[in-house]
Amino acid sequence: MLKKLILLLLIVPATLMAKAQLNPVTWTFTAVKIADKTYEIHMKATIQNTWHLYSQTQPADAIASPTIFTINANPLFTKEGKIKEVGKMEKMKDATLGVSANQYSQTVDFVQLIKLKANVKTNFTGSVEFQTCDDKKCLPPKIVNFNVQIK
């Protein structure tokens, strides 16, 4: 009995640590100058094989959490339009569960256009909340903060 208890006490923390380290999505954040005082902010997700990242927009019957960007206010620039998704969107439909989702595999680039009010250096900051799933499980939503220098 004591051996089983000790084994359980060793296995449970190791399992939790392994799950905590599971991170199937990596993010890169860059600014690309496209005209005078105009930049594209690229928030690119690279997704491991067999995993999916969800679109910002989901169908009414979706159970997946959409990707949500929170952009911190900055008086030195204005956001032009909404964040665009550049990638191959997959429309998943699970007939057994009766649910669907708009998702991406491998990569997706979220692009926000901004215009500076003057020729200044500043930062584009915020966070992205996202969820990833594979064919067997979903991970809880995760938040990643970002800070992109605009030069």
pLDDT tens-digit profile of 70-100?
Answer: 999 999 999 999 999 999 999 998 878 788 9
Instruction: Read off the pTM.
Output: 0.84
Alpha helix (H) residue ranges in the chain: 2-21
* Pick from 42, 26, 29: nearest CA to 132: 26
Q: How far apart are CA 112 and CA 109, in angstroms?
A: 10
Bridge partner list, 43: 29, 110
Q: How far apart are CA 36 and CA 136, in angstroms?
A: 47
Pair 19, 36: CB distance under 8 Å: no
Instruction: Give residue 78's region: left, alpha or beta (phi > 0; psi -120 to 50).
Output: beta
| Domains with residue ranges and CATH for the chain | 25-150 (2.60.40.1250)
Say whether pLDDT at 37 is over 70: yes
